[in-house]
Amino acid sequence: MEGDDPRGSQRHPVTAPVIRHLQILRTVTEAVSRSLNLNEVLQKSVAALTHVTGHEIASLHLISADGQNLLLRGDRGLSDILREVNRSLRVGEGLIGRVALSGRARRLDEVTGAGDLLDAARAAVAEDGIRGFVCVPILARHRILGTLSLGRQDPPPFSDEEVALLECVADQIGLALDNARLYSETRRQLEDLRRSQMEVVRAERLAAVGELAGGVAHEINNPLMIILGQVHLLFQSRDSEEVLNGLKVIDGATKRAASIVRDLVLFAEHFPLHPSRCQVAEELKHVLALQRGRLEAQHVDVRTEFEASPDIWADVNQLQEAFLHLIQNAEQAMVGAHGHGTLTVRVKPSAGGGVRVEIADDGPGVPANDLARIFNPFFTTKPPGEGRGLGLSVAYSIVAEHEGIIRAENTEAGGALFSIELPVGAPAVEPSFTP
């Protein structure tokens, strides 16, 4: 009833062919949006098209990589002989080849009457009783990728609506081809990225090993040379005071070499942890108390912000050593840059249920290029004799041993901020007693 339509417009009955067209389009769009498998999309599209009236044959060609040929990628209802003729067509030749070259659709009511029908196809087309024919280009981003063709054995000829439907399906196929290309390109780029990432990691490791070997040789060689020189002098000396002084130098150089080796071992092998229950803030207070004299002498103010945090299980000696390295670095950076500074030490509960420590300074910060390398053993920007490049790598090992995370970044104000996140951990498992 007309009066029932609130907008007062006339209703048009939806005809059976329109419903069929919509169903075909739906099948094709669903296949395109759901599947990344190009073959599946092509087969489904071609199969759907043969239901325009139920008397169609369909074929889909894609242009070969060299742009010279059209290769049959899907067909429905083609006789064996017609499939053979269609398997590979030259771009620019015959009905389909011309559509692929020009990018313009072609419709014929009597295909056998077409002057440009390939000779090889003419007999097969006549044999199969094909009359109506329509071929449209498949386009993506203004490039012709192939053709979609429909032939019909019975009259009536293809209508404008049917050609429009075929063009719509060809557009969807173009989209699917483009998606497939983008997908494989993205996968390739991802693969490239993964490969170059692995190369970077390997190169960094090699660089670290190189720095390690060079650093060890250099650092140990210096005290050894001193020891050797002193021993040589002592052999010739008759004066007991001279001997005593020489022995003191030897003592100092030997301790230095021993401490380098100890740091290295700590870095490379890790001492076994002796965890005890502790409050991280207390350990930091202890380290700061030991350093107070030094820090005051260097005009470094210390600010602490300690929030109530859970007890954790940790090797307190090792933790103190890690904190000491960070505090000394901060002090050296600030004093080196402007002769004084403010050190901020924070402790708070971490998001993971453990404890987060932050040691921030108002020095020059770590140059962006160095951030990725400062934890490498023997990486130092300090002059020989002042820096050995082991402090941060030792701190890194200690934190890693506690299954924590250490990070370095620069604050907005420009200084460096080192953060350590430590889990609650657990007491060491005692070896079971067997009598």
Residues that bind ligand ADP (CB under 6 A): 325, 329-330, 333, 361, 363, 365-366, 370, 374, 379-382, 387-393, 416
> Could you tell me if 423 and 352 are in contact, meaning their C-beta atoms sit under 8 angstroms apart?
yes
Tell me which residue of 313, 343, 334, 323 sits closest to 392, measured CA to CA.
Answer: 323
Tell me the three state secondary structure of residue 41: helix
| Shortest distance in whole angstroms from residue 275 CB to ligand ADP | 25
Identify which of residues 79 and 328 has a Cβ nearer to ligand ADP in the complex: 328
The amino acid present at 202, given as its one-letter code, is R
b vs e for 372-401, b when ≥16 Cβ sit within 10 Å of the residue's Cβ? ebbbbbbbbeeeeeeebbbbbbbbbbbbeb
Q: Which pair of structure tokens corresponds to residue 67?
A: 């742009």
| Shortest distance in whole angstroms from residue 258 CB to ligand ADP | 17
| Shortest distance in whole angstroms from residue 180 CB to ligand ADP | 48
Neighbours of 14 (CB within 10 A): 9
**Residue that is written with structure tokens 């097969």 in the block:** 124
Distances (CA, A) of 68 to 88, 119, 135: 10, 19, 18
| Shortest distance in whole angstroms from residue 62 CB to ligand ADP | 57
| Shortest distance in whole angstroms from residue 309 CB to ligand ADP | 23
Identify which of residues 70 and 326 has a Cβ nearer to ligand ADP in the complex: 326
Burial of residue 288 (CB within 10 Å: 0-12, 13-18, 19+) is middle
Considering Cα of 421, then 426, then 427, then 433, what sign does the dihedral take? negative
Give the residue at shortest CB distance from ligand ADP.
391
| Shortest distance in whole angstroms from residue 325 CB to ligand ADP | 6
Q: Could you give the CA distance from residue 42 to residue 24 in angstroms, rounded to a whole number? A: 13
Identify which of residues 108 and 327 has a Cβ nearer to ligand ADP in the complex: 327
Identify which of residues 315 and 361 has a Cβ nearer to ligand ADP in the complex: 361
| Shortest distance in whole angstroms from residue 195 CB to ligand ADP | 30
Identify which of residues 171 and 211 has a Cβ nearer to ligand ADP in the complex: 211
**Residue that is written with structure tokens 């030997």 in the block:** 254
Q: Which pair of structure tokens corresponds to residue 379?
A: 């990486």
| Shortest distance in whole angstroms from residue 366 CB to ligand ADP | 4
Q: Could you give the CA distance from residue 365 to residue 138 in angstroms, rounded to a whole number? A: 58
Identify which of residues 162 and 361 has a Cβ nearer to ligand ADP in the complex: 361
Identify which of residues 86 and 393 has a Cβ nearer to ligand ADP in the complex: 393
